[in-house]
Structure formats: C-alpha cells, structure tokens
C-alpha cells in the first residue's frame, strides 16, 4: 500500500511559493506599470518585497523538504 510521506513543510513550501509568485508578480507589475492601489504607504511596494520574501522562503522549504529526500511526513 502506498504510504503518504510528503512532509508538511513541503506543502508549506508549495503554498508559499505559489503565493509568492502571485503576489510578487503583481508587485512587479505594479512597479513597472506605475499603477499603485489607493492604499497607505503604496509607494513602498509591499507586494513586491512581501511576495518576494514568501517566494524565497517557499523555495527554501520546497528544496529542503522535497519528496524523496528522506523527509518523513511528520517531520
């Protein structure tokens, strides 16, 4: 019987990477197009660096806990 053995941290990595790409990608669009939303501190381009941070963290977790790297599901 196949046993689930993908680490929860890998799932976290996938989600953070996906969100990082989506939000960071929007941040890049915002920066290039100059189209900023009507929010306070919009000039800081929070989607860019917050999304970038999530992308970096997500990739780190995806790599470190990738299936097949002897990462038990509960670790």
Partner 1 sequence: MTVLPSPLMLSAVVALPPQHLAHLAPLDIAIIAVYFAMVIYIGFYLKQRNNTSEEFFLAGREMTAWIAGLSFISANMGSLELMGWAASAYQYGILAAHWFWIGAIPAMLFLGLVMMPFYYVSKTHSVPGYLKLRFGESSRLLAAVSFAIMTVLMSGINMYAMALVMKVVLGWNINFSIWVSSVTVALYVALGGLRSAIFNEVLQFVLIWAGALLIPILGLIETHGWVGMRARIQHNFPGQDFTHMWHGLGAFNHNPMGVHWTGIVFGLGFVIAFGYWTTDFLVVQRVLSAQNLRAAQMAPIIGAGFKMLVPIIVILPGLLGLAVLPHLLPESVAAHVPGANSYNEVLPLMLVRYCGPGLLGLGITALIAGFMSGMAGNVSAFSAVWTYDIYQAQINKRAADSHYVTIGRWSTILGVLVSIGAAYLVMQFASIMDYVQALFSFFIAPLFGTVILGMLWKQATAAGGFWGLLSGTVTSVSLYLWVHFNPAALAHVAFSVHAKTMAENLYRALWAWIVCVVVTVVVSMFTTPKTDAELNGLVYGATVLPKLEAVPIYKNHWFWAAIVITGFFIVNVVFW
CB of 17 to partner 1, least distance (A): 11
Which residues lie near partner 1 (CB under 8 A)?
Answer: 1-4, 6, 8, 11-12, 14-16, 18-19, 22-23, 26-27, 30, 36-42, 44, 46-47, 50-51, 54, 73-75
Closest CA to 18 of 49, 62, 73, 48: 62
CB of 44 to partner 1, least distance (A): 7
Query: Which of residues 32 and 74 has its CB atom nearest to partner 1 in the complex?
Result: 74
CB of 34 to partner 1, least distance (A): 14
CA dihedral 50, 51, 53, 57 (to 10 degrees): 140
Name residues whose C-beta falls within 8 Å of residue 34's C-beta, 6 or more positions apart in sequence. none
Is the Cβ–Cβ distance between 72 and 5 less than 8 Å? Answer: yes
């Amino acid at each position: 019987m196949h046993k689930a053995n993908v680490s929860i941290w890998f799932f976290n990595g996938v989600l953070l990477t996906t969100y990082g790409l989506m939000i960071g990608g929007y941040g890049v669009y915002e920066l290039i197009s100059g189209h900023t939303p009507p929010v306070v501190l919009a000039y800081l381009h929070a989607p860019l660096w917050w999304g970038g941070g999530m992308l970096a963290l997500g990739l780190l977790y995806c790599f470190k806990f990738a299936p097949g790297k002897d990462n038990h599901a509960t670790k």
